[in-house]
Amino acid sequence: MLRRTFLMLAAALALTVAMGGSPAMAQSLDALRSSGAVGERFDGLVVARDGGTATAKFVEGVNAQRLNIYRERAAAQGVSLEQVGRVYAQQIRKSAPRGTWFLQDNGNWTQ
């Protein structure tokens, strides 16, 4: 029951997190993911793939927002931050734009 509730809450918020919080940030995140400059990780965080300073700063901002949400969810549900991130990662994967790269927990990238 607790897991079901947790998953429902995670799914409801996943789109907000996946989009980066604001409409402008969402468009930027989608563009960066579509281009391959940014990828999604197995733990619900994003990672810069192009090595650019501007992209790295953008990724830091997105990850900071996501981690705040993940911490709140983890505390509210009594689960670990890692568990929350992994649930969100599954939801993000479903809603990510075509062409998004995903870093698996084994270190392999898939598209």
Q: Structurally, how many domains does the chain consist of?
A: 1
Please give the residue range of the domain that contains residue 47: 2-110
Q: Measure the CA–CA gap between 8 and 93, rounded to whole angstroms.
A: 16
What does 30-85 look like in DSSP terms, one character per residue?
HHHHHHTSEEEETTS-EEESS--HHHHHHHHHHHHHHHHHHHHHHHHHT--HHHHH
Q: Is the pLDDT of residue 2 over 90?
A: no
Q: Average pLDDT of the chain?
A: 83
Task: Quick: pLDDT tens for 16-70.
Answer: 444 445 444 556 899 999 999 999 999 999 999 987 888 999 999 999 999 999 9
Q: Is the pLDDT of residue 12 over 50?
A: no
Confidence tier at 4 by pLDDT (50, 70, 90): low
Give the DSSP letter of residue 18. H
Task: Quick: pLDDT tens for 56-100.
Answer: 999 999 999 999 999 999 999 999 999 999 999 999 999 999 999
